[in-house]
Structure 1
Amino acid sequence: MASSTASSSLARHVQALYPLARVLAGDNEAAALVEDVYDHAANMPPDERPSDERSWLFRLLIDRRHGSLSSTDAEIPSGTETSFTDDPFRREVAEQTAKRKLPVAFAACSLHERVILALDVLASPSDTALATALDTTEANARTTRDQARSALRASLRDVLNGPERMLVDVALPDKALRAHLRTLLEDRFQPTPSSLRATVRDILERARAKREADAADSANASTGSLLSTISNWHSVRPLVWTLALVGVFAVGIAGWMYLSASPPSPSSPQSIVDLSVQRASEVTPAQPVTSADEAETYIRATWGRRVSVPSIKNASLRSVSRLQPGRNVTVPVLLYDDPPETTRIAVYAFSYALLDRLGSRGTLDRALRTKLATNQSLLDETHDDQSVVLWRQKDDIFVAVAPHLAPSSLRGRIQL
């Protein structure tokens, strides 16, 4: 009887535990988390349980979320704050915020960008299919699609303020944004009118009937043409074989040149910090600029991106260059002269969209993503004896490299 009373006493706290479990683990895992806590609590003899059962269950819940239920004396671990990208509640609120503002953001995009975005989310075409639809190469098609996605992100940020903007920047995955856009477009522009479907069927039927009639009319003429072709084949066959061999040879040479010119993919993932440091000496001045406005205009025209160019105290912005870490992937690089020494500072302008395209050629580990969750927060590090400063501005990730400066000195001179 006493055991039954003790169990009832524990059970009455489930209503208080469940909301906390949803905050900690999200809706999908909350129930399982509460069940695990009660599995552990039920195995504790009633006379050994703390007198404040409610607080004890709260403690078990928090410990269980962080993987420590081996002892009732376990302390709540410190430093286990969930990152922005892993927090279910933050992601849910980010999606709700984006969904609410998405119609305005989509309307603010250009007509060209809206067409590309609609094609992207409604048809989900492969690179080949997208290139065919746009009558361009696969590389250009991918670039056009990425630029349209970045434009939508930028438009969405423009209609948000303060914490909402920061939350959407770091906690809203691209996949979720495209899913909400697809829902918006389907609700707004579908279904297709039944009268239009009927008209299209009539057009296709008339065209089919005409083709069949034309084929019947030309059947006799085709027979005579075929006999003439057979009689002439022997005279042209040597030339055909020669042209075929030349074509095969040309294709082989082209393929060899393409593979030889393509940069090899690294065998293991490489961070964008290591990439920036290792390639800093290879970046040469390209497009001369004299101001941040000129650089921003050139980057927007070349890459289709809105980048906020920083200023560096006592250094002069001289050029916008580019880094090509992979085939058909380029990263804008800002080059600053830093007198009186003949030295320079290189600032790479990555983005989350570029990271997706770079794959293992340019990664950003989870720890660094979490540190960059705060917008415009400067982080200084040392890599291979070179000073590096990183910061995030909206969905752009900047990496500044200066081998001649101390990390703290470089950080102190960057002005956003």
Structure 2
Amino acid sequence: MQPLSDRTASFTDSVIRRMTRISLRYDAVNLSQGFPDFDPPAKLLKSLEEISKDPSPRYHQYSITWGAQAMRQALAEKQSRYMGIPVDPDENIVVTCGSTEAMMAAMMTVTNPGDKVVIFSPFYENYGADTILSGAKPVYVPLNPPQFDFDRKVLERAFCENRPKAIVLCNPSNPCGKVFTREELDFIASLCKKYDAYCITDEVYEHIVYAPCRHTYMASLPGMFERTISCSSLSKTYAITGWRLGYTIAAPQITERIKKVHDFLTVGAAAPLQEAVACALRFDQSYYDEVLALYTHKRDLFCKGLDELGLVHNTPEGAYYVLMDISEFGYSSDLEFCEDLARLVKVGAVPGSSFFREPVNHLIRFHFAKKDETLLAALENLKSLRDMIPSRC
């Protein structure tokens, strides 16, 4: 038989989703895959209930391929307010099946086979795969712990030597929780303009940014709207990861191409969910203040618990992930450590090596988008960590 695709030969399954399955197998508290265990907003659920009972074909058949008008209009109003730039619902927005499809559509819109794409490491696992599936080649630039800043000379060298077609920017960053400063973004923007590159952003945690940090949209910087594809989703902000509603925002000529790519990838996102979510997109500022207060509390609760156990970790500036250092346990494989953690300690985590291009095996990722009682249960289980997993050093 003919061999299968070369470009996918090196792929593994998603380590994040694998760790959820392992957590379920051992009945562990799952702090691996980043989904909440608390309810979405009551108004949003009420809206879904009402639409589900409405027999109108508008709600239950195909919507406009690039997004239901009601959702695009509400999203345009919201993002115009927060991004500080005018967003047109018809010319600038494509609704996708989650930000996962948004990133894939953006990558396929921008790159040709053989193009280079700069990706910061650590990175969400899909970015490298998206690049490879598009026939392009990833070029990794390290974010340096513990602050996860980058060396400007190293980044410019990556642009100068590779002449990339695009850079992928996750801000706030998964998995390390870094929030890029305005000065850092200005520098990245200057390289995009100098070397004529696009910027594909992943901004799903745009409303989960902890004081004193502030989120700046790359597309809002001078001269960057024309060369930025802003990708995001409603999953994290409204606690609806299973709804799979994402979107791209870009200049009209880019959006027209994304519409075509999106049409052949998935045709369209779920029509009733698009209609239902329009009400949430019109929540006032108090909702986003409550979301930030909620996650600030959860971050502080979980990090304090780790501190009390003497476990070394970073403190995220945004998103809802914590990286914990497992060096003291002496494992050469962080995947093996995470499997033992789930089996013996009953806590699920993701091995950090799945996020790094560099040979990093001493970090694991927890997420804290959980009820307080879930986080406290995980911390209670972690009290036995050093007894159940003695050091191999």
Output the TM-score relative to the length of structure 2: 0.23
TM-score of the pair, normalised by structure 1:
0.22
Task: Kindly name which structure, 1 or 2, has the bigger radius of gyration based on alpha carbons.
Answer: 1
Decide which structure has greater helix share.
Answer: 1
